[in-house]
Amino acid sequence: MAGTTQATFAVTGMSCAACSGRVERAIGAVPGVTAASVNLALRTASVAFDPARATPEAIAEAVRAAGYGAALETRSTESREEREAREMNALRRDLVAAAALSAGVFVLGMPHFFPFVHHVPVAVRNVVSFALATPVMFWPGRRFFQGLATTLRRRTADMNTLVAIGTGAAYTLSTVATFAPRALPHGGGDHGGHVYFESSAMIITLVLLGRYLERRATGRASQAVRKLAGLAPKRARLVRGGAETEVPADEVVPGDVVVVRPGERVPVDGVVSSGASAVDESLVTGESAPADKGPGSEVVGGTINTTGSFTFTATRTGQATVLAGIIRMVEEAQGSRAPIQRLADRVAAVFVPAVLGVGLVTLAAWLLFGPEPRLAPALLSFVSVLVISCPCAMGLATPTAIMVGTGRAAEMGIYVRGGAVLETAHRLTTVVLDKTGTLTAGRMSFAGASPAPGVTENELVAVAAAAERPSEHPIAAAVVSEALRLGLAVDGAQGFEALPGRGVRASVGGATVIVGTGALLAEHGVAAPDGAGDALARKGLTPLLVTRDGRYLGAIGVGDTLRPEARRAVADLRGMGLSVVMLTGDRERTARAVAGEAGIDRVLSEVLPDGKVAAVERLRAAGEVVAMVGDGINDAPALATADVGVALVTGTDVAAEASDITLLRPDLTGVATAVRLSRATMRVIRQNLFWAFFYNTVGIPIAAGALYPAFGITLQPMYAALAMAFSSVSVVSNSLRLRRVRLTPAPRRQTNGAAAAQASA
C-alpha cells in the first residue's frame, strides 16, 4: 500500500492469548495504523502504519499504556535471538530457584508420602513451609503479581490474574492458618495444621516449568530464521590497493572487489569478475548440486564456495542482499496470523473474565453446599479452576504451527507469505500452470529428428546446423547447440539468407541447403514427402524440413520442451485430488500436444497475455479455488488475481511481489509440496485448537468439583497447574511434528506379482 511503512516491535510481558489480543487492539487504536498482527509465540507485533500520521514511538507508547513493554526491532539493537536467550536465562534462574524451594515445601506438606515428616511438629512444619514458600511467591512468582497489578490498573484480566489470585489465596489462607489459626471459621487451634503452602509454591513452579518448556519449544519452532541468519559470514576479504584486506562483512559496499577461497562463504551478493568454482546455493534454491560459476555469473551472500577461488564485484550488501530478503520473508510469514486464529482470539477476549466468574461461583457453591469444614475445599476448588484454565494453549495453537510450517518450507526453498496463504492453499481445487517458462523450460531446444532413408541423424543435424549457424533466431540456436553437443562441424556456410517466417537458405560445402517450412521448399521446387514433419508437429514441436541440392534429408523438431519433472509434478497434483489446467497463447493443436505429453486434460489455449487474468477470474467465478503458477514476472497480474499465486523464480529474484508462494528452485514438484505442507499445517492447527478447547471444556468442570458428588473426587491445585503446563507444551510439541511430516508423495506399493517380476528382471 502506497505511503505505508512496515515495522516489527518486540513485545514483553505477554503470557496468553488474552494478552496478545489486548496488545493488538491497543496498536490498532493508534491513528494512522492500518494493520497489526501480534504473535504470541515470537513475542512480536508486525505493524503497518502511515508515517505521516503515526510514529514508532507512538505505537510503542500505546503498547506500554496497555501494560506491556515494546521496542522497535532494528538490526542495530539487541537481536531477537539475543533477547530470547536473555529471557530464557532469567526464566531458567527463576525456575531453578522455585523448584529448589518448592521441593522442601512439598516434602513437608506431604507426610503420607514421606513418613519421617510425622516426627516434626505441625507448627514447626508450617513455619518452615512458610519460610520456604514466601521467597517462591515473591521472587520467581513476582512476574505474576506484577502482571496482576498491571491488569488491575487497566481493569483487564489475563493469565497473570488467574495465577496470582489462585496462588495468593492459597498462600494467604495458609499464612493465617499458621500464625492466627483462631481467625479461621471452624479453625481454632484444631485446624492450624491445614495449610497449602505446597500448593501455592508448586503452582508457581509448575507454571514456570510450563513457560520454560513452551519457550524452549517455540525457540525450536523458529530455528529456521536463526539458521538462515547464521549463514551470513562475519568477515570479508577485499582487494584494496593491490593487496587483500580482511574487514567486517557489514563494511562491504557495492563496487568492492571481494576474494573468496575454497570452503568459504560468499559474504555479499555480486558478479564474478575472475576465477571459476562451484558454489553450493542450496540455502536459496534448495538445489543440492553445486552451481558452476565463472566470469559474469551472479553469486549470493551466504552460499558456500566449494572448490576453486574467485573474485567478484559486490552489487548488493547489508539489508539489500538476497539472504536478508529471504530472512525478512520468513520473519514476516512467521509473524503473520491465519484467519482461523480469529476464533481463538474471540474466545480469549472474554475467557479470563468468564473463568473468574466460574471460580467465584465455584467458591460460593462449596461454601454453601460443601462438606464441613467448607472453607478449605472451597478455596482449593477455586484455586484449581483459576489455575487449570489458563488460555495459553489457545494463544499458541495457530502461531506455533505457522512458525514451524513456514520454517520447514523455507528450508526447502519454498517461501510462503504467511498464515492466510497457508489457510487458502489447503482449500485449493484447481492449479493453473502457465506453459512457457513454467511447464516448459522457456527456451527453444532440439527435441528430435526424422531422417530420410539413407541419412543418419548426425548428418541431418550437421547440415541443418551449418546452414543455421549465421542466424540469431532462437530456433537456429537450438539446432546449432545440439550439433555442438554432438561434436559436429557447423562452420562453412556462405551466401546465408534468412527468409522471415519460412526458414533459411545457404551454401554449405558448395551445396545449396534449405531449412524451413514445406512452403519454403515448394517455392524452390523441392518436393517433400507427404506428411513430412507431421509426427513432430503432433507433439507440439516446430518441424524444420531440410534439403541439400534438392534432395530431402529429413525433418528436425525444435520446441520449448517440458521440464524434466513436469509429468511427475502434474501426476502428483492430480493424485492429491486437484484439477490441473494448462494456460497458453499457443494454438489449440500445439497446446493439446504439450498438455497431453504432460498428462493434463484441461487446456486454455490461444490466451493472449492480457487475457490470463480473465481466464483465472472465470475459473474462480465457477466456484473453483485457484492457484496460478507462473514465472513471477510476465504472469504477475494473473498471480495476483488467483486465490494463491505461485512464482517460480531464480535464486536472485527472491522478491516476486505478486506471488503468495515463491519457489526458488525451478522445480514444479514444489507446487505439490507447498500444497501438501499447507494441508498438514492446517490439520495441526485444527488439532491444536480442538485440544485447547477440549482441555478447558473438560478440565474446568473437574476442577470446580463436578466429580465430587458422584465419586468424591476433587482436583488438587498443584495437579491443575501440571495439567495447565502440559496443555501448552502439548500444543507446541504437536506443531513441531510438522518438521517431520512427509511432504513428498508416498512410494507406490507393488503387488507381489509386480515385485517378483521386477526381481526376476
Lowest mean pLDDT among 224-238, 346-360, 431-445, 596-610: 224-238
Could you read off the pLDDT of 233-287 as tens digits, one per residue?
889 999 988 899 999 998 999 999 999 999 999 999 999 999 999 998 876 665 6
Q: What is the share, in percent, of the chain residues with pLDDT greater than 90?
A: 44
- 373 preceded by cis ω (within 30°)? yes
List, by residue range, all CATH 2.70.150.10 domains of the chain: 233-318
3-state secondary structure of 404: helix
Q: Given a cut of 80, is residue 199 above it in pLDDT?
A: yes
Homologous superfamily in CATH for domain 445-559: Calcium-transporting ATPase, cytoplasmic domain N (3.40.1110.10)
More confident call, 321 vs 653: 321
Q: Given a cut of 70, is residue 600 above it in pLDDT?
A: yes
Bridge partners of residue 272, in order along the sequence = 312
What distance in Å separates the CA atoms of residue 605 and residue 607, rounded to the nearest whole number? 5
Confidence of residue 514 (pLDDT cuts 50, 70, 90): very high
Write down how long the chain is.
761
pLDDT of the residue at 419? 84
Which is catalytic among the residues 434, 631, 635, 660? 434
Topology of the domain covering 9-77: Alpha-Beta Plaits (3.30.70)
Determine contact, residues 420/335, Cβ cutoff 8 Å.
no
pLDDT of the residue at 187? 47
Determine contact, residues 214/88, Cβ cutoff 8 Å.
no
Q: Given a cut of 80, is residue 334 above it in pLDDT?
A: no
Strands (E) in 294-341, as ranges, are: 298-299, 304-305, 310-316
Could you read off the pLDDT of 96-127 as tens digits, one per residue?
999 999 999 999 988 878 888 888 998 999 99
CB count within 10 Å of CB 180 equals 11
What distance in Å separates the CA atoms of residue 416 and residue 402, rounded to the nearest whole number? 10
End-to-end CA distance of the chain: 62
More confident call, 39 vs 546: 546
Lowest mean pLDDT among 112-116, 132-136, 327-331: 327-331
Homologous superfamily in CATH for domain 409-441+563-669: HAD superfamily/HAD-like (3.40.50.1000)
List, by residue range, all CATH 3.40.50.1000 domains of the chain: 409-441+563-669
What distance in Å separates the CA atoms of residue 42 and residue 422, rounded to the nearest whole number? 18
pLDDT of the residue at 80? 66
3-state secondary structure of 546: strand
More confident call, 560 vs 335: 560
Could you read off the pLDDT of 702-751 as tens digits, one per residue?
999 999 999 999 988 888 888 887 888 888 889 989 988 888 776 655 44
Q: What is the CATH number of domain 233-318?
A: 2.70.150.10
- As given in the structure block, the three cell numbers for residue 190 are 484444631
What would the DSSP string read from start to end of 559-581? E-PBPTTHHHHHHHHHHTT-EEE
Confidence of residue 155 (pLDDT cuts 50, 70, 90): confident
List, by residue range, all CATH 3.40.1110.10 domains of the chain: 445-559
Most confident of 228-232, 394-398, 715-719: 715-719
Stretch 298-321: mean pLDDT, rounded?
A: 91
Residues 6+ apart with CB under 8 A from 619: 430, 432, 581, 626
Lowest mean pLDDT among 45-59, 262-276, 338-352, 544-558: 338-352
List, by residue range, all CATH 3.30.70.100 domains of the chain: 9-77
Give me the amino acid identity at 641.
Answer: T
**Does an H or E element contain 225, and which?**
helix 223-229
Q: Given a cut of 80, is residue 5 above it in pLDDT?
A: yes
| Helix residue ranges, H only, 77-222 | 80-109, 122-138, 142-154, 159-179, 197-221
Strand order in the sheet with 235-240: 243-248, 235-240, 257-260, 310-316, 269-275, 298-299
Could you read off the pLDDT of 58-91 as tens digits, one per residue?
999 999 988 888 988 765 456 667 777 888 899 9
Phi-psi region of 234 (alpha: psi -120 to 50; beta: other; left: phi over 0): alpha
Examine the residue annotation and report whether 434 is marked as an active-site residue of this protein.
yes
pLDDT of the residue at 192? 45
Stretch 480-496: mean pLDDT, rounded?
A: 91
Q: What is the mean pLDDT of the chain?
A: 86
Angle, helix 457-468 to helix 474-485, in steps of 10 degrees: 130
